[in-house]
Amino acid sequence: MEKFTKLILKLKWLIILSVFALTSLFSYQLKNLTINSDIISSLPDDDLVAKLYKNIGSEFGGNDMGMIVLETDNIFTKKVLEDVKQVTDSLKITEGISTVTSITDVLDIKTTEFGLEIGKLVDEYELPTRQSELDSLKKYVFSKEMYKGSIVSEDATATLVLFTLLDDADKQAVAKEVKEKIEALGLSEKLYFGGLPMMMNDITSLIVADMVWLIPIVFILIALILLLSFRSVRGVILPLLTAAISVVWTLGIMALADYEITIISNMIPIILLAIGSAYTIHVINSINLNVEKDRKKALIKALSFIIVPVILASVTTAIGFISFVFGAYLAMIQDFGIFTSLGTLIALVLSIFFVPSLISAFSMYNKNTEKTNTNKKDIISNIILQPLAKLLFKHPKYIFSVWGILIMISISAMFFIQTSVNMNAYFKKDNPTRVAEDIMQKKFGGSMPIYIVFEGDMQSPEVLKLMKKTGDFMETDHNINTTQSVADLIEEMNNAMGESKKIPDDKAKIEQLWFLLDGQDIMPQLVSDELDKGIIQSKFASATTSDIENFDEKMKKFIAENSNENCKIQLTGMPSVYVKLNSSLLSSQFSSLIIAIFMVLVIVGLILRSPLKGIFAAVPVVATIIVLFGFMGATAIPLDIATVLVGSIALGIGIDYSIHIIVGFNYKLKENGDVHKAIESTIMTSGKAIIINVLSVAAGFLVLLFSQLVPLQNFGLLVAISMISSGLGSLTLLPVVLILANRKKKITAKQTFN
């Protein structure tokens, strides 16, 4: 180890120059980094439901549908209709918008006394103005299932303007322009913007806001904690510099590899700032504690001592992150796992190569070369660590019991953990997107699209009748407001031809009715060009997991009974994806935790050359994970796409504290052979680094409480709690376990460290 550290110091200028060069290269790449807030694009391609949803959404334009709600006390007035027309016209001439549907511009099939009229619900150039006209329009709209609850709310206080985007449009740019344009009209009605493109636009601005506001706060906060802890410029600059460089490298590599910032990888800079500084903290702490006349020798000694625990700490943290690659359902969580673990390793490399090089090159040695310095104990050592060490030896069993009770309580609270996949809950209550979604849910049966896909001859009476039957069946569910398919249009047309309102039995009739529908804007949203695929479009009103699961089950049964060789039926849509996402949250939580625990045990056991030590090291973190889930159960913080990450991260970071204690214990035990003294001196030395580390990491993550996205707020809180718990665990539970284990079975220096 000494040879290795000497080599580092020999190559210091080369190391400094390469770090400088790489940092400039990667910071230049940062400008290419883009934000992708499209959650749909993160759905896995190997999952049938998700794949079908993605395909159907893009094939029939449903994923690119935006909605604007105009709300007032009564929409059937001259003024409101004029305003709707204004919105409609303004959208029509917006670049990137394909079709617009609103009460002033919607396909209508009317049966009149002399024939049939295929036209629009109202003449957009001669809007009804007199009260009698408005009344009859209202009566007509509410008489037709096509409109009631889908274009006009059932209480007639809100109306919907729907628009679809062109395939090649920059969806977020269009959404942004739409919002600005419509708001600039200065209409008196209350406006709400919904649908995925609008939601994505909103998420993007929230991500940007988070990054712009939170990163500097984390930076300043960690700087303050470091200043208070180390009371030296070096102690502040070096950890922050390495953390910042690892953020730049990681984001630079992301940009180079063509990855985008998502709602989850948004957290990468904050996480790396918080944990990336940790390794340098330990390196500096070790250097501070090794005070000798020959400053270079002191540096080498300090480094030789700290390299192994720092490598162990970062590798285990990286494992915590990499465990997401195996269990996660969403691609963005896998990407997050890859790049945070990469960033962790970068921080490691910097802290053991770059930091000592800088110290040596710029003579940033400890100013005090006198041994006396160590005797002047600081606040942390005096007030916390010394009394703690005393307490541990006095009452090891009490401390053990307190942990035992805490764990029992947590285990019982764990059973109350909920899952949440509803995207709406990701926004704060007063966020305009959330408010819009709430309105959509209340007035228009939600905005969660459902598609029933029919593969078969779309002009065959059998298939159309089956579509109708399916639609009717769906509408018996109280969370389904209306359904729409080409079968509804054919029925209307058949009625208008003077036959009854049903699907004709004769295929020739259907083909001829089709002639009139051909080329209508709505057709590409309902049937494929080749007429071999069609969909029922609907929306699901409830975001409650049990409602969604009930509906999903019911539909699956119906489909199994009705699907046949001439017509294959499939169900997809946001609710189905949510069901999948939900079950995947639990299974991926389970698998990533198991992988992480297993790998950590193996690696710690191997490096410490003792499986028992590996298990000891895992005790505080396993306790922490139990406390974490107990806390989630007790406070009703749900498992969601962000909080599902906490368990493995807590494990990966938390194990570091145990490692520092165990390695310190071994080292000290080797020095003087006395368990009691070894534990005490370990707590007094590593304890300080652990407390500083817990404080800076927890503070860094607590900044996420100011995030605009609810899952990130919860994530920050939970990681902070886990850090405190595992720090506390490694300073209390682990020494107690070591003391108690030692009473039963003498741990000797020979057994533990070569």
- The answer to whether residues 124 and 462 touch, using CB atoms and an 8 Å cutoff, is no
Q: Is 81 in the site for other proteins (CB under 8 A)?
A: no
Nearest approach, Cβ of residue 125 and other proteins (Å): 4
Which residues, 6 or more positions from 276, have their beta carbon under 8 angstroms from its beta carbon?
A: 242, 243, 246, 247, 343, 344, 346, 347, 350
By C-alpha distance, which of 252, 118, 195 is closest to 574? Answer: 195
Q: Is 22 in the site for other proteins (CB under 8 A)?
A: no
By C-beta, is 125 or 415 nearer to other proteins? 125
What track of x and - describes contact with other proteins for positions 285 through 324 (by CB under 8 A)? ----------------------------------------
Which ranges constitute the DSSP H helices of 445-570?
Answer: 461-475, 486-496, 507-517, 545-562
What is the H or E stretch that residue 39 is in? none
Tokens (6 digits) for 399 = 């401390």
Query: In the window 105-124, what residues touch other proteins (CB under 8 A)?
Result: 112, 114-120, 123-124
Query: In the window 378-417, what residues touch other proteins (CB under 8 A)?
Result: none
Query: In the window 144-203, what residues touch other proteins (CB under 8 A)?
Result: 166
- The answer to whether residues 224 and 216 touch, using CB atoms and an 8 Å cutoff, is no
What is the H or E stretch that residue 186 is in? none
Nearest approach, Cβ of residue 181 and other proteins (Å): 11
Which residues, 6 or more positions from 17, have their beta carbon under 8 angstroms from its beta carbon?
A: none
What is the H or E stretch that residue 459 is in? none
Q: Is 211 in the site for other proteins (CB under 8 A)?
A: no
Nearest approach, Cβ of residue 519 and other proteins (Å): 4
Q: Is 508 in the site for other proteins (CB under 8 A)?
A: yes
Give the count of alpha carbons within 13 A of 521, CB side only.
18
Query: In the window 641-670, what residues touch other proteins (CB under 8 A)?
Result: none
- The answer to whether residues 269 and 220 touch, using CB atoms and an 8 Å cutoff, is no
Q: DSSP label at 568? A: E
Q: Is 518 in the site for other proteins (CB under 8 A)?
A: yes
Stretch that binds other proteins, among 144-152, 272-280, 384-392, 512-520 (CB under 8 A): 512-520
Query: In the window 428-467, what residues touch other proteins (CB under 8 A)?
Result: 459
By C-alpha distance, which of 1, 24, 17, 47 is closest to 580? Answer: 47
Nearest approach, Cβ of residue 511 and other proteins (Å): 4
Nearest approach, Cβ of residue 87 and other proteins (Å): 14
What is the H or E stretch that residue 448 is in? strand 448-455
Question: Of residues 499, 615, 635, 749, which one binds other proteins by CB under 8 A?
Answer: 499
Tokens (6 digits) for 708 = 């605009």
Helix/strand/coil (H/E/C) assignment for every residue in 49-107: HHHHHHHHHHHCCCCCEEEEEEECCCCCCHHHHHHHHHHHHHHHCCCCEEEEEECCECE
Question: Counting every residue, how long is the chain?
Answer: 754
By C-beta, is 166 or 406 nearer to other proteins? 166
User: How far is it, in rounded angstroms, from Cα 660 to Cα 651?
Assistant: 14
Question: Of residues 29, 41, 86, 94, which one binds other proteins by CB under 8 A?
Answer: 94
Q: Is 511 in the site for other proteins (CB under 8 A)?
A: yes
Q: Is 509 in the site for other proteins (CB under 8 A)?
A: yes
Which one-letter amino acid corresponds to residue 742? Answer: N
Query: In the window 525-544, what residues touch other proteins (CB under 8 A)?
Result: 529
Q: Is 561 in the site for other proteins (CB under 8 A)?
A: no
Q: Is 513 in the site for other proteins (CB under 8 A)?
A: yes
Tokens (6 digits) for 14 = 């080369």
Q: Is 58 in the site for other proteins (CB under 8 A)?
A: no
Nearest approach, Cβ of residue 460 and other proteins (Å): 12
By C-beta, is 70 or 165 nearer to other proteins? 165
- List contacts with other proteins (CB under 8 A): 89, 92-95, 98, 112, 114-120, 123-125, 166, 459, 496-499, 506, 508-509, 511-513, 515-516, 518-520, 529
